[in-house]
Chains A and B, each alone.
Chain A
Amino acid sequence: MKYNKSLLRILALAGCMSVMNACSDFLNEELTTQRDTEYLKTPQGIRELAVGIYYNLRYHFAGEWAYTYTNYGTDEFRTGGDGSNQMWNSYDGNFSPMITAVNSNTVMPQALWDNMYIGIGSANLLIENASAGLPEGEERNTILGEGHFLRAFNYQKLVRQYGGVPLKLTPNTTPQREFSRNSVQEVMEQVIADFTEAYNLLPATPSAPGKITKDAAAHFLAKAYLFRASEINDSWNSTTKTADLTKGLEFADEVIANRQLAPNFADLWNYTGIDGPSENLNEIILSAQFTADISTRGRMGNQQHLFFLSQYLNFPGGGLTRDIAGGREYQRLHTNYYAIEVYDRVNDSRFWKSFKTKYAINAPKGIYAHGDLGAMYIINDPDDDRFNTSDDLLTVVDPITGKVVPNLLATYVGGQRYLDLDANANRFPSLNKYLDGSRAGTADVPGNRDGILARLADTYLTAAEICIRQGEYSKAINDYINPVRARGAYKAGEDRAAYTDGGAAYQGPPPNSFYDRNSYYESNEIPETTDATDLTITSFDYADLPEEDQRVIDELGHAGDEYKRALDFLLNERSRELMGEFYRWEDLSRTLTLVERAKAFNKMAEPNITERHNLRPIPQTHLDIIQKNGRALTADEKEAEQNPGY
Chain B
Amino acid sequence: MKNEFLRFNVNRLIAVMLIVLLHATAGWAQELQVSGKVTSADDNSSLPGVNVLVKGTTNGTVTDSDGNYAISVPQNATLVFTFIGYTPTEVVVGGRTTIDVGMEADIQQLSEVVVVGYGTVKKSDVTGSIVSVGSEELRARPVANALEALQGKAAGVDITSNERPGELGQVRIRGTRSLLATSDPLYVVDGIPLMSGGIENLNTLDIESIDVLKDASATAIYGSRGANGVILVTTKRGKAGQMTMNYSGSLTVENIQDLSPMMDADEYITWRRWSYYYRDPNNYPRGDEPTQDNDFAIFLGANDPFAWANIMKGWEGGNWDGSKVKTTDWLGMVTQTAVTQNHTISASGGNDKVRAFGSFGYLDNEGTMKGQSFKRYSTKLSVDLTPKEWFEMGVSINASYGVQQYGQSTTGGQVSGPNSIYAGARGVFPYAVPYDDNGERIQSPGGDDYVRTIVDEWKLSENQRTTIRALGSFYAQVNILPGLRYRVNFGPDFRQYQNGIFIDEKSVVRVGNPSYASLTNETDFSWTLDNLIYYDKTIGKHKIGGTLLQTSSSRNRNWSNINGTDVPYTKQKWNALGAIPLESLRGYSSNLEEQQLLSYMGRITYGLSDKYLLTLSGRWDGASQLADGNKWSFFPSAALAWRVTEEDWMQNTTWLDQLKVRVGVGTTGNAAIRPYMTKGGIHSMFYPYGGTIAQGYAPSEFQISADAIMANHALSWERTTQYNFGIDFSVLNSRLTGTVDVYTSRTTDLLQEMSISPINSYTTTYANIGETKNNGIDITLNSVNVKTGDFTWETSLNAAWQKNEIVSLANGKSDDIGNLWFIGESLGVVYGFDSDGLWQEGDADEMALFNANDRNFSAGMSRPVDQNGDKIIDARDRVVIGHTQPRWTLGLNNMFRYKNFDLSVFVYGRFDYTVNTGGEFQGGRYTQRDIDYYNENNKNAEYQKPIYDVAGGDPFFNILGYRSGSFLKIRNINLGYRLPESVIEKLKINSLRLYVQARNPGMLYSKVDFLDMDTGLSTWNRGFVFGLDAQF
Contacts and interface: CB of A to CB of B under 8 A. Distances in A.
Contact of A55 (B583, B687, B818, B950): B687
Contacts of B415: 443
B512 A7 contact: no
A322 B449 contact: yes
A81 B448 CA distance: 14
Given A422-B283, A440-B565, A52 B685 contact: yes
B759 interface: yes
Nearest to B958: A100
Which of B514, B625, B694 gathers the greatest number of chain A CB atoms within 10 Å? B694
A625 B759 CA distance: 11
Interface string B514-538: 1000000000000001010100000
B695 A15 contact: no
B951 A103 contact: yes
B761 A314 contact: no
A279 B689 CA distance: 11
Given A55-B703, A175-B760, A35 B681 contact: yes
A122 B950 contact: no
A296 B687 contact: yes
B480 A7 contact: yes
Interface stretch (B363-371, B661-669, B672-680, B973-981): B672-680
Interface in B104-118: none
Contacts of A22: 550, 552, 598
Interface string B556-587: 00000000010000000000000000011111
Given A18-B550, A103-B951, A125 B761 contact: yes
Nearest to A79: B952
Interface stretch (B51-59, B77-85, B212-220, B808-816): B808-816
Contacts of A291: 688, 690-691, 693
Contact of B685 (A92, A298, A316): A298
B1005 interface: no
B583 A52 contact: no
A207 to B, nearest CB: 8
A314 B702 contact: no
B586 A121 contact: no
A365 B586 CA distance: 34
B514 A441 contact: yes
A82 interface: yes
Nearest to B765: A175
B302 interface: yes
Given A118-B758, A121-B761, A626-B757, A48 B695 contact: yes
B531 to A, nearest CB: 5
B1028 interface: no
B480 A36 contact: no
Contact of B811 (A168, A323, A631): A631
Nearest to B854: A93
B699 interface: yes
Contacts of B705: 299
A4 B759 contact: no
Interface range, B side: 35 or more
A121 B760 contact: yes
B486 A176 contact: no
Interface stretch (A23-31, A256-264, A429-437, A595-603): A23-31
A624 interface: yes
Interface stretch (A56-64, A222-230, A241-249, A345-353): A56-64
B513 A34 contact: no
Given A49-B698, A296-B693, A323 B447 contact: no
B698 to A, nearest CB: 4
B679 A52 contact: no
B652 to A, nearest CB: 48
A113 B760 CA distance: 12
Contact of B692 (A4, A35, A124, A208): A208
Interface in A584-629: 608, 620-622, 624-627
Nearest to B296: A316
A11 B874 CA distance: 71
A83 interface: yes
A239 interface: no
A375 to B, nearest CB: 13
Contacts of A453: none
Contacts of A443: 414-415, 511-513
Given A27-B624, A29-B595, A118-B708, A210 B951 contact: no
A56 B701 contact: yes
B949 interface: yes
Given A36-B681, A36-B682, A55-B687, A293 B696 contact: no
Contact of A94 (B688, B708, B955): B955
B303 interface: yes
Given A48-B696, A86-B951, A210-B690, A98 B875 contact: yes
Ranked 4 nearest A-B pairs via Cβ? A121-B761, A51-B696, A209-B690, A443-B414
Interface of B: 279-280, 283, 297, 300, 302-303, 390, 414-415, 447-449, 478, 480-481, 484, 486, 511-514, 529, 531, 533, 550, 552, 554, 565, 583-588, 591-592, 594-596, 598, 600, 622-625, 631, 675-676, 678-706, 708, 710-713, 754-763, 765, 767, 811-812, 814, 816-818, 853-856, 872-875, 949-952, 955
Given A36-B682, A175-B756, A632-B812, 10 more contacts: A29-B675, A35-B697, A36-B680, A94-B955, A122-B698, A125-B699, A175-B754, A210-B689, A294-B586, A422-B279
14 contacts: A4-B390, A8-B481, A31-B681, A33-B681, A82-B951, A92-B854, A93-B853, A100-B955, A102-B952, A103-B951, A176-B757, A210-B689, A299-B706, A443-B512
